[in-house]
Amino acid sequence: MLILALEDADEDVRKAAAKALGEIADPRAVGPLSAAFKDPIEGVRMVAVEALGHIGGAQAVEPLAAALSDWNEGVRIRAADALGRIGDDRAVGPLIAALEGADSYVTGPIVGALARIGVPAVTLLLAALKAPDREVRAAAAQALRQIDDAGAVPPLIEALKDDDWHVRLTATELLGNLGTMEPSSR
């Protein structure tokens, strides 16, 4: 019955249904909650994204990754947060892709999600240090700083030559946190 309520004419009923489905955390609700991402009311989409994040699991990753492209920043923020809580390494690529063109309100939650995923994100974050978009490079460096992985040392040393001061600063701070003066010291 709750799944049917996701299609109710009243947005408050749809939000309540999505919230309840998230609290129940039944994996059978993943499909219907994903369909609610198309709701014209952003509040319904936000609650559906949060509910899907509560359900979690591998089946929630793809729909949440798709929600990273929603026009509403609140939906994108909640999708990034949910993906970080789930921690599945399949979310890394979509999260990094969502950094391009993201505003500062969304960049922080994406960086946080990548940091929570941790070491499985390092390889793609290191590749993102060479992205054409300076905001993507800076965000990748921030996430790497939070992950604190010694395997990032050589690319971070290369990032010290970046054109963007924020990328250089973050790389410097991370190298300092790792206690690294040069690549051969590890």
Nearest alpha-carbon partner for 21 in 3, 41, 40:
3
Cβ contacts of 17-23, under 8 Å, gap ≥ 24: 18/44, 18/47, 18/48, 18/50, 18/51, 19/47, 19/50, 19/51, 21/51, 21/55, 22/47, 22/50, 22/51, 22/52, 22/53, 22/54, 22/55, 23/51, 23/54
pTM of the entire structure?
Answer: 0.81
What is the rounded distance in angstroms from the CA atom of residue 122 to the CA atom of residue 152?
7
pLDDT tens for the chain, 186 residues long, are 889 999 999 999 999 999 999 999 999 999 999 999 999 999 999 999 999 999 999 999 999 999 999 999 999 999 999 999 999 999 999 999 998 888 888 998 999 999 999 989 988 888 888 888 888 888 888 888 788 666 777 777 888 898 888 888 888 887 887 765 554 444
pLDDT of res. 185 = 44
Structural domains of the chain sorted by starting position, each given as residue range(s) with its CATH number in brackets: 1-91 (1.25.10.10), 118-186 (1.25.10.10)
pLDDT of res. 93 = 93
